[in-house]
Structure 1
Protein backbone atom coordinates (compact mmCIF):
# COMPACT_ATOMS: atom_id res chain seq x y z
CA UNK A 1 0.00 0.00 0.00
CA UNK A 2 1.42 3.35 -1.02
CA UNK A 3 0.45 6.71 -2.45
CA UNK A 4 0.40 6.74 -6.25
CA UNK A 5 -2.00 9.61 -7.02
CA UNK A 6 -2.39 12.99 -5.33
CA UNK A 7 -5.18 15.46 -6.13
CA UNK A 8 -4.67 19.19 -5.54
CA UNK A 9 -7.81 21.28 -6.09
CA UNK A 10 -6.63 24.86 -6.63
CA UNK A 11 -9.11 27.71 -6.38
CA UNK A 12 -6.89 30.44 -7.76
CA UNK A 13 -7.10 32.31 -4.46
CA UNK A 14 -4.56 33.22 -1.79
CA UNK A 15 -4.12 29.66 -0.48
CA UNK A 16 -3.22 28.09 -3.83
CA UNK A 17 0.52 28.08 -3.26
CA UNK A 18 0.36 26.22 0.06
CA UNK A 19 -1.90 23.49 -1.36
CA UNK A 20 0.29 23.06 -4.44
CA UNK A 21 3.44 22.93 -2.31
CA UNK A 22 2.08 20.28 0.06
CA UNK A 23 0.67 18.16 -2.76
CA UNK A 24 3.83 18.39 -4.87
CA UNK A 25 5.99 17.39 -1.87
CA UNK A 26 3.80 14.33 -1.33
CA UNK A 27 3.98 13.38 -4.99
CA UNK A 28 7.75 13.74 -5.04
CA UNK A 29 8.21 11.72 -1.84
CA UNK A 30 6.15 8.80 -3.18
CA UNK A 31 7.03 9.10 -6.88
CA UNK A 32 3.33 9.66 -7.38
CA UNK A 33 1.25 11.33 -10.08
CA UNK A 34 -0.02 14.78 -9.09
CA UNK A 35 -3.21 16.19 -10.58
CA UNK A 36 -3.67 19.94 -10.31
CA UNK A 37 -7.39 20.64 -10.63
CA UNK A 38 -9.27 23.88 -11.07
CA UNK A 39 -13.07 23.83 -11.13
CA UNK A 40 -14.71 26.83 -12.75
CA UNK A 41 -18.23 27.64 -11.70
CA UNK A 42 -20.58 27.88 -14.66
CA UNK A 43 -20.92 31.67 -15.13
CA UNK A 44 -24.58 31.28 -16.08
CA UNK A 45 -25.30 29.90 -12.60
CA UNK A 46 -22.70 31.92 -10.71
CA UNK A 47 -24.23 35.34 -11.29
CA UNK A 48 -26.63 36.35 -8.51
CA UNK A 49 -29.41 38.35 -10.07
CA UNK A 50 -33.14 38.82 -10.00
CA UNK A 51 -34.52 38.52 -13.49
CA UNK A 52 -37.31 41.02 -12.94
CA UNK A 53 -36.14 44.48 -13.90
CA UNK A 54 -32.92 43.42 -15.65
CA UNK A 55 -32.61 43.55 -19.39
CA UNK A 56 -31.12 40.73 -21.44
CA UNK A 57 -28.09 42.94 -22.22
CA UNK A 58 -27.39 43.53 -18.53
CA UNK A 59 -27.73 39.82 -17.72
CA UNK A 60 -25.43 38.96 -20.64
CA UNK A 61 -22.79 41.40 -19.40
CA UNK A 62 -22.99 40.02 -15.85
CA UNK A 63 -22.45 36.49 -17.15
CA UNK A 64 -19.59 37.64 -19.38
CA UNK A 65 -17.95 39.43 -16.45
CA UNK A 66 -18.24 36.31 -14.27
CA UNK A 67 -16.73 34.26 -17.10
CA UNK A 68 -13.75 36.62 -17.36
CA UNK A 69 -13.19 36.50 -13.60
CA UNK A 70 -13.35 32.70 -13.68
CA UNK A 71 -10.84 32.52 -16.50
CA UNK A 72 -8.49 34.79 -14.57
CA UNK A 73 -8.67 32.59 -11.44
CA UNK A 74 -8.02 29.50 -13.53
CA UNK A 75 -4.97 31.09 -15.13
CA UNK A 76 -3.61 32.21 -11.76
CA UNK A 77 -4.05 28.70 -10.35
CA UNK A 78 -2.38 27.08 -13.35
CA UNK A 79 0.64 29.41 -13.19
CA UNK A 80 1.15 28.72 -9.47
CA UNK A 81 0.87 24.96 -10.05
CA UNK A 82 3.32 24.89 -12.95
CA UNK A 83 5.81 27.09 -11.08
CA UNK A 84 5.84 24.84 -8.02
CA UNK A 85 6.10 21.54 -9.85
CA UNK A 86 9.00 22.96 -11.87
CA UNK A 87 10.67 24.08 -8.64
CA UNK A 88 10.30 20.59 -7.13
CA UNK A 89 11.32 18.73 -10.26
CA UNK A 90 8.02 17.10 -11.22
CA UNK A 91 7.61 16.45 -14.94
CA UNK A 92 4.50 18.02 -16.46
CA UNK A 93 2.54 15.85 -18.93
CA UNK A 94 5.43 13.38 -19.15
CA UNK A 95 4.97 9.65 -19.76
CA UNK A 96 4.35 7.99 -16.41
CA UNK A 97 7.18 5.97 -14.91
CA UNK A 98 6.84 4.09 -11.61
CA UNK A 99 10.04 5.48 -10.14
CA UNK A 100 9.54 9.15 -11.09
CA UNK A 101 6.94 11.70 -9.98
CA UNK A 102 4.82 13.36 -12.64
CA UNK A 103 2.07 15.94 -12.89
CA UNK A 104 -0.73 17.20 -15.08
CA UNK A 105 -3.17 20.10 -15.07
CA UNK A 106 -6.94 19.74 -15.42
CA UNK A 107 -9.85 22.17 -15.61
CA UNK A 108 -13.50 21.34 -15.16
CA UNK A 109 -16.73 23.33 -15.03
CA UNK A 110 -19.33 22.63 -12.37
CA UNK A 111 -20.16 23.00 -8.70
CA UNK A 112 -16.78 23.11 -6.98
CA UNK A 113 -17.41 20.90 -3.94
CA UNK A 114 -19.38 18.26 -5.83
CA UNK A 115 -16.88 18.07 -8.68
CA UNK A 116 -13.80 17.86 -6.45
CA UNK A 117 -15.54 15.34 -4.19
CA UNK A 118 -16.24 13.03 -7.12
CA UNK A 119 -12.72 13.30 -8.55
CA UNK A 120 -11.20 12.69 -5.12
CA UNK A 121 -12.73 9.19 -5.15
CA UNK A 122 -10.06 8.11 -7.63
CA UNK A 123 -7.09 9.68 -5.85
CA UNK A 124 -5.15 8.17 -2.96
CA UNK A 125 -5.14 11.48 -1.11
CA UNK A 126 -6.48 14.97 -1.77
CA UNK A 127 -4.80 18.09 -0.40
CA UNK A 128 -7.05 21.04 0.42
CA UNK A 129 -6.46 24.34 2.13
CA UNK A 130 -7.37 25.08 5.71
CA UNK A 131 -10.69 26.90 5.27
CA UNK A 132 -10.19 30.66 5.04
CA UNK A 133 -13.51 32.24 4.03
CA UNK A 134 -12.20 35.76 4.62
CA UNK A 135 -9.40 35.60 2.04
CA UNK A 136 -10.72 32.82 -0.22
CA UNK A 137 -14.47 32.10 0.04
CA UNK A 138 -14.17 29.03 -2.20
CA UNK A 139 -12.28 27.22 0.57
CA UNK A 140 -15.15 27.54 3.03
CA UNK A 141 -16.96 24.27 2.28
CA UNK A 142 -14.40 22.41 0.17
CA UNK A 143 -12.85 20.42 3.00
CA UNK A 144 -16.26 19.24 4.20
CA UNK A 145 -17.28 18.30 0.66
CA UNK A 146 -14.15 16.24 -0.01
CA UNK A 147 -14.41 14.45 3.34
CA UNK A 148 -18.08 13.55 3.02
CA UNK A 149 -18.27 12.91 -0.74
CA UNK A 150 -15.03 11.11 -1.58
CA UNK A 151 -14.54 8.28 0.93
CA UNK A 152 -10.78 8.85 0.59
CA UNK A 153 -8.03 10.43 2.67
CA UNK A 154 -7.65 14.18 2.82
CA UNK A 155 -4.78 16.37 3.96
CA UNK A 156 -5.58 19.86 5.22
CA UNK A 157 -2.70 22.23 4.49
CA UNK A 158 -2.34 25.23 6.84
CA UNK A 159 -1.03 28.61 5.60
CA UNK A 160 2.49 27.78 6.80
CA UNK A 161 3.88 24.31 6.12
CA UNK A 162 6.57 22.64 8.26
CA UNK A 163 9.91 22.12 6.57
CA UNK A 164 9.23 18.37 6.52
CA UNK A 165 5.59 17.36 6.69
CA UNK A 166 6.09 13.64 7.38
CA UNK A 167 8.59 13.77 10.23
CA UNK A 168 6.85 13.62 13.61
CA UNK A 169 3.29 12.32 13.35
CA UNK A 170 0.63 12.30 16.05
CA UNK A 171 -2.27 9.87 15.60
CA UNK A 172 -5.48 10.73 17.47
CA UNK A 173 -6.95 7.45 18.67
CA UNK A 174 -10.28 6.67 20.34
CA UNK A 175 -10.87 3.16 19.03
CA UNK A 176 -13.63 4.26 16.64
CA UNK A 177 -14.16 3.14 13.05
CA UNK A 178 -13.27 6.67 11.91
CA UNK A 179 -9.94 6.51 13.73
CA UNK A 180 -9.21 3.04 12.33
CA UNK A 181 -9.92 4.24 8.80
CA UNK A 182 -7.66 7.25 9.28
CA UNK A 183 -4.78 5.07 10.48
CA UNK A 184 -5.20 2.72 7.54
CA UNK A 185 -5.30 5.58 5.02
CA UNK A 186 -2.29 7.27 6.62
CA UNK A 187 -0.19 4.10 6.81
CA UNK A 188 2.11 5.06 3.90
CA UNK A 189 2.87 8.32 5.72
CA UNK A 190 3.37 6.65 9.09
CA UNK A 191 5.91 4.27 7.58
CA UNK A 192 8.03 7.23 6.46
CA UNK A 193 7.84 9.21 9.71
CA UNK A 194 10.77 9.45 12.08
CA UNK A 195 8.49 9.49 15.11
CA UNK A 196 4.89 8.35 15.54
CA UNK A 197 2.86 8.99 18.70
CA UNK A 198 -0.54 7.45 19.46
CA UNK A 199 -2.54 9.95 21.52
CA UNK A 200 -5.64 9.15 23.53
CA UNK A 201 -7.73 11.60 25.53
CA UNK A 202 -9.34 10.24 28.67
CA UNK A 203 -10.62 6.66 28.85
CA UNK A 204 -11.48 4.59 25.78
CA UNK A 205 -14.69 2.58 25.88
CA UNK A 206 -13.80 -0.98 27.02
CA UNK A 207 -15.39 -2.49 23.91
CA UNK A 208 -13.08 -0.49 21.64
CA UNK A 209 -9.43 -1.29 20.84
CA UNK A 210 -7.15 0.75 23.08
CA UNK A 211 -3.95 2.62 22.26
CA UNK A 212 -1.78 -0.40 22.91
CA UNK A 213 -3.82 -2.44 20.41
CA UNK A 214 -3.37 0.04 17.55
CA UNK A 215 0.30 0.45 18.50
CA UNK A 216 0.79 -3.32 18.21
CA UNK A 217 -1.02 -3.30 14.84
CA UNK A 218 1.37 -0.65 13.55
CA UNK A 219 4.44 -2.63 14.62
CA UNK A 220 3.45 -5.34 12.13
CA UNK A 221 3.75 -2.67 9.45
CA UNK A 222 7.20 -1.57 10.53
CA UNK A 223 6.04 1.41 12.57
CA UNK A 224 7.20 1.69 16.18
CA UNK A 225 4.94 4.23 17.86
CA UNK A 226 4.94 5.55 21.39
CA UNK A 227 1.70 5.97 23.34
CA UNK A 228 0.75 9.25 24.97
CA UNK A 229 -2.31 9.30 27.21
CA UNK A 230 -3.76 12.75 27.86
CA UNK A 231 -6.22 13.90 30.47
CA UNK A 232 -9.06 16.00 29.11
CA UNK A 233 -8.11 19.68 29.19
CA UNK A 234 -10.19 22.83 29.16
CA UNK A 235 -11.48 23.37 25.65
CA UNK A 236 -12.45 19.74 25.10
CA UNK A 237 -10.99 16.82 23.18
CA UNK A 238 -10.03 18.84 20.11
CA UNK A 239 -8.01 21.34 22.09
CA UNK A 240 -6.37 18.52 24.07
CA UNK A 241 -5.31 16.75 20.87
CA UNK A 242 -3.76 19.96 19.55
CA UNK A 243 -1.92 20.44 22.85
CA UNK A 244 -0.56 16.90 22.52
CA UNK A 245 0.57 17.66 18.98
CA UNK A 246 2.38 20.75 20.23
CA UNK A 247 4.00 18.79 23.05
CA UNK A 248 5.22 16.16 20.56
CA UNK A 249 6.46 18.88 18.17
CA UNK A 250 4.29 17.18 15.57
CA UNK A 251 4.57 18.08 11.90
CA UNK A 252 1.42 16.12 11.01
CA UNK A 253 -1.76 15.06 12.81
CA UNK A 254 -3.85 12.04 11.77
CA UNK A 255 -7.52 12.19 12.74
CA UNK A 256 -10.66 10.20 12.06
CA UNK A 257 -13.23 12.76 10.92
CA UNK A 258 -16.57 12.44 12.65
CA UNK A 259 -19.73 13.96 11.23
CA UNK A 260 -23.43 13.95 12.00
CA UNK A 261 -26.49 14.55 9.88
CA UNK A 262 -28.20 17.92 10.04
CA UNK A 263 -31.32 17.67 7.92
CA UNK A 264 -29.93 16.52 4.56
CA UNK A 265 -26.34 17.68 4.99
CA UNK A 266 -23.37 16.12 6.71
CA UNK A 267 -21.85 18.48 9.25
CA UNK A 268 -18.46 17.88 10.83
CA UNK A 269 -18.61 16.86 14.47
CA UNK A 270 -17.34 19.01 17.33
CA UNK A 271 -13.85 17.54 17.77
CA UNK A 272 -13.18 17.55 14.03
CA UNK A 273 -14.43 21.10 13.68
CA UNK A 274 -12.22 22.35 16.53
CA UNK A 275 -9.15 20.73 14.95
CA UNK A 276 -10.00 22.13 11.50
CA UNK A 277 -10.52 25.62 12.89
CA UNK A 278 -7.56 25.75 15.28
CA UNK A 279 -4.82 23.49 13.89
CA UNK A 280 -1.68 25.19 12.58
CA UNK A 281 -0.12 21.97 11.26
CA UNK A 282 -1.14 19.67 8.39
CA UNK A 283 -3.93 17.25 9.31
CA UNK A 284 -4.76 13.98 7.53
CA UNK A 285 -8.40 13.01 7.91
CA UNK A 286 -10.65 10.20 6.72
CA UNK A 287 -14.40 9.87 6.97
Structure 2
Protein backbone atom coordinates (compact mmCIF):
# COMPACT_ATOMS: atom_id res chain seq x y z
CA UNK A 1 0.00 0.00 0.00
CA UNK A 2 2.47 2.59 -1.22
CA UNK A 3 0.04 5.05 -2.84
CA UNK A 4 -2.67 6.61 -0.67
CA UNK A 5 -5.21 9.21 -1.83
CA UNK A 6 -6.79 11.59 0.70
CA UNK A 7 -9.49 13.95 -0.60
CA UNK A 8 -9.36 16.98 1.71
CA UNK A 9 -12.09 19.41 2.69
CA UNK A 10 -12.57 21.27 5.96
CA UNK A 11 -14.84 19.33 8.30
CA UNK A 12 -14.87 18.29 11.93
CA UNK A 13 -13.30 14.86 11.40
CA UNK A 14 -10.64 15.68 8.80
CA UNK A 15 -7.91 15.42 11.45
CA UNK A 16 -8.96 11.81 12.12
CA UNK A 17 -8.83 11.07 8.38
CA UNK A 18 -5.29 12.43 8.15
CA UNK A 19 -4.25 10.59 11.32
CA UNK A 20 -5.52 7.32 9.83
CA UNK A 21 -3.78 7.90 6.50
CA UNK A 22 -0.52 8.57 8.32
CA UNK A 23 -0.87 5.42 10.45
CA UNK A 24 -1.16 3.34 7.26
CA UNK A 25 1.63 5.24 5.51
CA UNK A 26 3.91 4.74 8.49
CA UNK A 27 3.48 0.98 8.29
CA UNK A 28 4.18 0.73 4.56
CA UNK A 29 6.39 3.73 3.77
CA UNK A 30 3.60 5.16 1.63
CA UNK A 31 3.19 8.48 -0.15
CA UNK A 32 0.01 10.30 0.90
CA UNK A 33 -1.38 12.45 -1.91
CA UNK A 34 -3.95 15.09 -1.02
CA UNK A 35 -6.31 17.12 -3.17
CA UNK A 36 -9.07 19.63 -2.49
CA UNK A 37 -12.53 18.08 -2.59
CA UNK A 38 -15.89 19.63 -3.33
CA UNK A 39 -19.19 18.04 -4.40
CA UNK A 40 -20.16 17.66 -8.04
CA UNK A 41 -22.83 20.17 -9.04
CA UNK A 42 -25.29 18.46 -11.42
CA UNK A 43 -27.99 20.24 -13.41
CA UNK A 44 -30.45 19.45 -10.64
CA UNK A 45 -28.84 19.90 -7.24
CA UNK A 46 -28.56 16.64 -5.30
CA UNK A 47 -30.19 16.46 -1.87
CA UNK A 48 -26.89 16.16 0.00
CA UNK A 49 -25.09 19.01 -1.78
CA UNK A 50 -25.16 22.31 0.15
CA UNK A 51 -26.94 24.94 -1.93
CA UNK A 52 -24.13 27.37 -1.08
CA UNK A 53 -21.83 25.34 -3.36
CA UNK A 54 -23.91 26.24 -6.39
CA UNK A 55 -23.14 29.94 -5.96
CA UNK A 56 -19.47 29.84 -4.97
CA UNK A 57 -17.47 32.40 -6.90
CA UNK A 58 -14.14 31.51 -8.46
CA UNK A 59 -12.38 33.39 -5.67
CA UNK A 60 -14.32 31.47 -3.02
CA UNK A 61 -13.38 28.20 -4.68
CA UNK A 62 -9.71 29.24 -4.81
CA UNK A 63 -9.88 30.20 -1.14
CA UNK A 64 -11.35 26.80 -0.29
CA UNK A 65 -8.60 25.02 -2.22
CA UNK A 66 -5.97 27.04 -0.37
CA UNK A 67 -7.62 26.34 2.98
CA UNK A 68 -7.62 22.60 2.22
CA UNK A 69 -3.99 22.68 1.08
CA UNK A 70 -2.85 24.52 4.20
CA UNK A 71 -4.79 22.12 6.40
CA UNK A 72 -3.19 19.10 4.71
CA UNK A 73 0.36 20.41 4.54
CA UNK A 74 0.19 21.90 8.03
CA UNK A 75 -0.80 18.52 9.43
CA UNK A 76 2.02 16.73 7.62
CA UNK A 77 4.65 19.22 8.74
CA UNK A 78 3.40 19.11 12.34
CA UNK A 79 3.88 15.32 12.25
CA UNK A 80 7.37 15.56 10.79
CA UNK A 81 6.38 14.08 7.41
CA UNK A 82 8.52 15.24 4.48
CA UNK A 83 7.64 15.81 0.84
CA UNK A 84 10.83 14.15 -0.36
CA UNK A 85 10.43 10.89 1.47
CA UNK A 86 13.26 8.67 2.62
CA UNK A 87 12.93 5.07 1.41
CA UNK A 88 10.40 3.12 3.50
CA UNK A 89 9.20 6.26 5.30
CA UNK A 90 5.92 8.11 4.89
CA UNK A 91 5.90 11.16 2.60
CA UNK A 92 3.28 13.48 1.11
CA UNK A 93 2.42 15.62 -1.90
CA UNK A 94 -0.38 18.01 -2.85
CA UNK A 95 -2.17 17.62 -6.18
CA UNK A 96 -3.46 20.49 -8.28
CA UNK A 97 -4.76 23.98 -7.62
CA UNK A 98 -8.45 23.45 -8.24
CA UNK A 99 -11.45 21.95 -6.50
CA UNK A 100 -12.12 18.33 -7.52
CA UNK A 101 -15.58 16.75 -7.41
CA UNK A 102 -16.77 13.39 -6.18
CA UNK A 103 -16.84 11.87 -9.67
CA UNK A 104 -13.17 12.75 -10.13
CA UNK A 105 -12.33 10.87 -6.93
CA UNK A 106 -14.05 7.82 -8.43
CA UNK A 107 -11.94 7.91 -11.59
CA UNK A 108 -8.60 9.20 -10.29
CA UNK A 109 -8.76 6.82 -7.34
CA UNK A 110 -8.23 3.88 -9.72
CA UNK A 111 -4.46 4.42 -9.71
CA UNK A 112 -4.11 4.32 -5.90
CA UNK A 113 -3.77 1.43 -3.48
CA UNK A 114 -6.13 3.01 -0.97
CA UNK A 115 -8.54 5.95 -0.67
CA UNK A 116 -9.00 7.34 2.85
CA UNK A 117 -12.32 9.06 3.61
CA UNK A 118 -14.26 10.29 6.61
CA UNK A 119 -17.43 8.65 7.84
CA UNK A 120 -20.41 10.32 6.10
CA UNK A 121 -22.06 13.12 8.04
CA UNK A 122 -25.72 14.03 8.29
CA UNK A 123 -27.75 16.10 5.82
CA UNK A 124 -25.41 18.29 3.76
CA UNK A 125 -22.46 18.16 6.12
CA UNK A 126 -19.18 16.72 4.80
CA UNK A 127 -17.91 14.06 4.58
CA UNK A 128 -20.70 13.18 2.13
CA UNK A 129 -22.14 9.78 1.31
CA UNK A 130 -21.84 10.78 -2.36
CA UNK A 131 -18.04 10.89 -2.00
CA UNK A 132 -17.93 7.46 -0.36
CA UNK A 133 -20.16 5.90 -3.01
CA UNK A 134 -18.22 7.48 -5.89
CA UNK A 135 -15.01 5.99 -4.49
CA UNK A 136 -16.62 2.59 -3.86
CA UNK A 137 -18.46 2.16 -7.15
CA UNK A 138 -16.24 4.02 -9.62
CA UNK A 139 -12.64 3.49 -8.50
CA UNK A 140 -12.48 -0.29 -8.20
CA UNK A 141 -10.16 0.29 -5.26
CA UNK A 142 -10.60 -0.16 -1.49
CA UNK A 143 -11.56 2.71 0.78
CA UNK A 144 -10.67 3.20 4.42
CA UNK A 145 -13.63 4.77 6.18
CA UNK A 146 -12.50 6.68 9.28
CA UNK A 147 -14.79 7.55 12.22
CA UNK A 148 -14.70 10.99 13.87
CA UNK A 149 -12.57 9.82 16.81
CA UNK A 150 -8.93 9.45 15.84
CA UNK A 151 -7.70 5.84 16.02
CA UNK A 152 -4.64 5.03 18.11
CA UNK A 153 -3.67 2.15 15.81
CA UNK A 154 -4.90 0.53 12.61
CA UNK A 155 -4.31 -3.07 11.60
CA UNK A 156 -2.97 -4.66 14.78
CA UNK A 157 -6.24 -6.43 15.64
CA UNK A 158 -8.37 -6.97 12.55
CA UNK A 159 -11.88 -8.35 12.31
CA UNK A 160 -13.21 -9.67 8.99
CA UNK A 161 -17.01 -9.65 8.71
CA UNK A 162 -17.32 -12.75 6.52
CA UNK A 163 -20.57 -13.42 4.70
CA UNK A 164 -19.28 -15.50 1.80
CA UNK A 165 -19.87 -12.72 -0.74
CA UNK A 166 -17.81 -11.68 -3.76
CA UNK A 167 -17.55 -8.15 -2.37
CA UNK A 168 -16.03 -9.33 0.90
CA UNK A 169 -13.65 -11.71 -0.88
CA UNK A 170 -12.46 -8.81 -3.03
CA UNK A 171 -11.97 -6.60 0.02
CA UNK A 172 -9.91 -9.31 1.74
CA UNK A 173 -7.68 -9.59 -1.34
CA UNK A 174 -7.02 -5.83 -1.18
CA UNK A 175 -6.35 -6.12 2.56
CA UNK A 176 -3.68 -8.84 2.37
CA UNK A 177 -0.76 -6.44 3.09
CA UNK A 178 -2.56 -5.31 6.26
CA UNK A 179 -3.56 -8.83 7.26
CA UNK A 180 0.04 -10.01 6.88
CA UNK A 181 1.21 -7.41 9.42
CA UNK A 182 -1.62 -7.94 11.95
CA UNK A 183 -0.92 -9.51 15.33
CA UNK A 184 -4.40 -11.08 15.42
CA UNK A 185 -7.17 -11.61 12.85
CA UNK A 186 -10.68 -12.77 13.66
CA UNK A 187 -12.92 -14.10 10.88
CA UNK A 188 -16.44 -13.38 12.14
CA UNK A 189 -19.48 -15.27 10.86
CA UNK A 190 -22.96 -14.41 12.10
CA UNK A 191 -25.47 -17.25 12.07
CA UNK A 192 -28.24 -16.64 9.57
CA UNK A 193 -26.41 -13.87 7.70
CA UNK A 194 -24.52 -14.25 4.47
CA UNK A 195 -24.50 -15.39 0.87
CA UNK A 196 -23.99 -18.93 -0.40
CA UNK A 197 -20.26 -19.48 -0.31
CA UNK A 198 -17.31 -20.83 1.66
CA UNK A 199 -17.50 -20.88 5.44
CA UNK A 200 -15.48 -18.73 7.80
CA UNK A 201 -13.41 -21.78 8.69
CA UNK A 202 -12.57 -22.36 5.02
CA UNK A 203 -11.46 -18.74 4.64
CA UNK A 204 -9.43 -18.92 7.84
CA UNK A 205 -7.48 -21.99 6.75
CA UNK A 206 -6.47 -20.26 3.48
CA UNK A 207 -5.41 -17.13 5.34
CA UNK A 208 -3.30 -19.27 7.66
CA UNK A 209 -1.53 -20.76 4.63
CA UNK A 210 -0.41 -17.21 3.86
CA UNK A 211 1.11 -16.91 7.32
CA UNK A 212 -1.75 -14.80 8.69
CA UNK A 213 -2.62 -15.27 12.37
CA UNK A 214 -6.30 -15.91 11.73
CA UNK A 215 -9.00 -17.50 13.87
CA UNK A 216 -12.61 -18.26 12.92
CA UNK A 217 -15.48 -17.43 15.27
CA UNK A 218 -19.22 -17.81 14.82
CA UNK A 219 -21.82 -15.92 16.83
CA UNK A 220 -25.58 -16.02 16.91
CA UNK A 221 -27.14 -12.79 15.72
CA UNK A 222 -28.58 -11.50 18.98
CA UNK A 223 -28.64 -7.93 17.72
CA UNK A 224 -31.51 -6.49 15.69
CA UNK A 225 -29.51 -6.46 12.45
CA UNK A 226 -26.27 -7.84 10.95
CA UNK A 227 -24.73 -4.37 11.03
CA UNK A 228 -25.36 -4.06 14.76
CA UNK A 229 -24.05 -7.57 15.34
CA UNK A 230 -20.84 -6.88 13.42
CA UNK A 231 -20.13 -3.66 15.31
CA UNK A 232 -20.91 -5.29 18.66
CA UNK A 233 -18.41 -8.07 17.97
CA UNK A 234 -15.79 -5.62 16.67
CA UNK A 235 -16.09 -3.66 19.93
CA UNK A 236 -15.93 -6.83 22.05
CA UNK A 237 -12.75 -7.91 20.22
CA UNK A 238 -11.27 -4.39 20.54
CA UNK A 239 -10.61 -4.45 16.80
CA UNK A 240 -8.75 -1.47 15.38
CA UNK A 241 -9.80 -2.34 11.82
CA UNK A 242 -12.95 -3.92 10.40
CA UNK A 243 -12.90 -5.48 6.92
CA UNK A 244 -16.19 -5.82 5.07
CA UNK A 245 -17.44 -5.94 1.51
CA UNK A 246 -19.67 -2.98 0.63
CA UNK A 247 -23.26 -3.24 -0.56
CA UNK A 248 -23.64 -6.98 -1.04
CA UNK A 249 -27.31 -6.03 -1.38
CA UNK A 250 -28.28 -3.31 -3.85
CA UNK A 251 -28.13 0.30 -2.69
CA UNK A 252 -31.87 0.67 -3.38
CA UNK A 253 -32.73 -2.32 -1.22
CA UNK A 254 -30.46 -1.03 1.54
CA UNK A 255 -32.08 2.41 1.29
CA UNK A 256 -35.57 0.92 1.66
CA UNK A 257 -34.97 -1.95 4.07
CA UNK A 258 -31.62 -1.11 5.63
CA UNK A 259 -28.53 -3.31 5.47
CA UNK A 260 -25.22 -4.06 7.12
CA UNK A 261 -23.27 -1.62 4.94
CA UNK A 262 -25.68 1.25 5.57
CA UNK A 263 -25.61 0.64 9.32
CA UNK A 264 -21.81 0.45 9.43
CA UNK A 265 -21.41 3.60 7.30
CA UNK A 266 -23.57 5.46 9.81
CA UNK A 267 -22.48 3.96 13.12
CA UNK A 268 -18.96 2.46 12.96
CA UNK A 269 -16.58 3.65 15.67
CA UNK A 270 -13.63 1.74 14.25
CA UNK A 271 -11.90 2.27 10.87
CA UNK A 272 -13.52 0.12 8.16
CA UNK A 273 -11.84 -1.16 5.00
CA UNK A 274 -14.45 -1.61 2.26
CA UNK A 275 -14.57 -2.44 -1.44
CA UNK A 276 -17.29 -3.29 -3.93
Pair in the same fold by TM > 0.5? yes
2:62 paired residue number: 71
Cα gap change, 1:219/1:247 in structure 2, threshold over 3 Å: closer, same or farther? same
Give the one of 248, 265, 271 matched to 1:276.
Answer: 265
Q: 1:268 to 1:283 in 2, by over 3 A?
A: farther
Tell me the CA shift for residue 273 of structure 1: 0.5
* Pairwise CA distance, 1:97: 5.5
Of the candidates 12, 16, 19, which is equivalent to residue 18 of structure 1?
Answer: 16
TM normalised by structure 2 equals 0.86
How does 1:76-225 map onto structure 2 within 5 Å? Answer: 76-92=67-83, 94=84, 98-107=87-96, 109=98, 112-133=101-122, 136-137=125-126, 139-203=128-192, 208-225=197-214
Separation of aligned partners in 2, 1:249 and 1:229: 17
Q: Which of 200, 225, 228 is the equivalent residue of 1:236?
A: 225
Structure with larger Rg: 1
> Structure 1: which 4+ aligned runs deviate by more than 4 Å?
40-43, 45-48, 108-111, 203-207, 266-269
Q: In structure 2, the residue corresponding to 1:107 is in which secondary structure?
A: coil
Deviation, 1:115, is 0.6
Change (3 A) 1:161 1:213: same
The separation in 2 between residues aligned to 1:17 and 1:46, in whole angstroms, is 32
Q: Distance in 1 between matches of 2:189 and 2:128?
A: 30
| Secondary structure of 2:163 counterpart | coil
Query: Does 2:5 correspond to 1:7?
Result: yes
**1:59 alignment counterpart:** none
Q: Determine the C-alpha separation between the residues in 1 that align with 2:40 and 2:174.
A: 33
| CA distance in structure 1 between the partners assigned to 2:152 and 2:257 by the alignment | 29
In structure 2, list runs of 5 or more residues that go unmatched. 46-53
**Cα pair distance change 1:243/1:204, threshold 3 Å:** closer
Question: What are the superposed Cα offsets for residues 81-102 of structure 1, whole Å, 9 maximum, x if unpaired?
Answer: 112222333221x2x6542322
Structure 2 residue aligned with 1:31: 29
In the TM superposition, residue 124 of structure 1 has moved relative to its aligned partner by 0.3
- CA distance change for structure 1 residues 79 and 224 in 2, over 3 Å: closer, same or farther? same
Partner SS for 1:104: strand
